[in-house]
Structure 1
């Protein structure tokens, strides 16, 4: 059991949780930086979480939904206030609706997570600050203390699971909801390198090709919010090409970009793609949350082998663009 101690301080309006683990501090930090890992312990076992957004950089935001055994949902958000990579981060944690919009009728709290190496491995100290005695008492009455204890008790299993999050794993898709899928891969390169590879037309034409035998003939990149983009591919031999177009909705270089995506020349509905780049051991965790118009469209796209084509492109990115750069 990792939990070392929990201290409730009504005078300071804080709850402090200290937990020790027999792993390097970098491994513990990654468990909080990687949404695939974080959602396996953020929330008690009977209310597992799904993170539909996780931006661990100052000014970023995270959205999560915890789902109970009867299907009842408890959405929440993090507003990321400060980050010292590998050492600490600070967020405002609060209640929300399923779209991540804050529920201002409920209190929010400030949480500071501090990571440090110890003789036996590493330690994370979480200090939760409340705005008033009434807020502290309200959240304790809702079971926050017990929830934090049971949630942090799950981290051991996550830390022991090295294979599921290894940098060597191929591109994977995880269903988050009826309309959302998260595609992830650790790319062996820095955040800045991976961002540039997605925003430099000459580089994109070298790697964003899917299966062998295709050429990217058009690469018009959106550089400002509101700009449109257009990408087209043609087979090197016989066959018909295809393309995508869309609009840049949000851009926070070099960490986050949100776009619409539509297959050119069709009446297919657009998707919304949220790309987040997070530094982790082994490179950069590339995470794309795709929102589809329906579960049927989601399943149809996944059945095309989408992730296989993406994996071929990302492997080419590492091999032909990032190695030696």
Structure 2
């Protein structure tokens, strides 16, 4: 499938934040569901050949998404997203942290605040992600782990999933 939209990745002047946007040729409802339904997230969230596996997800304010990224050689890394605020079909925000399989935070890695915004337009749906770390060093640590490349691979997976499941 030909890629129709490129991910925009911009570091903020403060060095602690990054702004990522991507346009999808799909309706808002479908894109929202792809970001908020664990069965769909598991199909696109991980960069290939890795796979995302949800242990549990409660997409509600105060709820959490505990998931792992599983590599082709048996590698496994866990993350926990804690949802703080949700406005259906508009945005959600919360904190994402590396953790163990029980959701206990790994203090060796940064915890990142996310705000993911959705807006429908004539091309489909625009998704904007605003990530903020406690410090510029923590954001650089995340980026040095391959975040930008991995996230873009996941976004490409989402674009392919949306095309395959177009409504």
TM-score scaled by structure 2? 0.91
How far is the alpha carbon of 1:78 from its aligned partner? 0.3
2:124 equivalent to 1:121? yes
Distance 1:63 1:132 in 2: 24
Which sections of structure 1, spanning at least 5 residues, go unmatched? 167-325
Distance 1:141 1:102 in 2: 19
Which sections of structure 2, spanning at least 5 residues, go unmatched? none
2:16 equivalent to 1:13? yes
Alignment match, 2:156 = 153
How far is the alpha carbon of 1:104 from its aligned partner? 2.4
Pick one of 138, 141, 149 that aligns with 1:138.
Answer: 141
Count of residues in Structure 1 that have an aligned counterpart in Structure 2: 164
Secondary structure at the aligned position of 2:148 is classed as: helix
How far is the alpha carbon of 1:12 from its aligned partner? 4.8
TM-score scaled by structure 1? 0.48
Distance 2:154 2:102 in 1: 23
Alignment match, 2:108 = 105
Q: Deviations over 1:249-273 (max 9, x none)?
A: xxxxxxxxxxxxxxxxxxxxxxxxx
- Counterpart contact for 1:78–1:92, Cα < 8 Å: yes
Q: How does 1:213-292 map to 2 (within 5 A)?
A: none
How far is the alpha carbon of 1:162 from its aligned partner? 3.0
Pick one of 3, 8, 11 that aligns with 2:6.
Answer: 3
How far is the alpha carbon of 1:95 from its aligned partner? 0.4
- Counterpart contact for 1:10–1:133, Cα < 8 Å: no
Alignment match, 1:82 = 85
Distance 2:98 2:117 in 1: 23
Pick one of 47, 65, 70 that aligns with 1:44.
Answer: 47
Q: Deviations over 1:111-145 (max 9, x none)?
A: 11000011111111111111101101111111111
Secondary structure at the aligned position of 2:80 is classed as: strand
- Counterpart contact for 1:3–1:152, Cα < 8 Å: no
Bigger Rg, structure 1 or 2 = 1
Distance 1:13 1:21 in 2: 27
Alignment match, 1:57 = 60
Ranked by relative contact order (alpha carbons within 8 Å, sequence separation 6 or more), the top structure is: 2
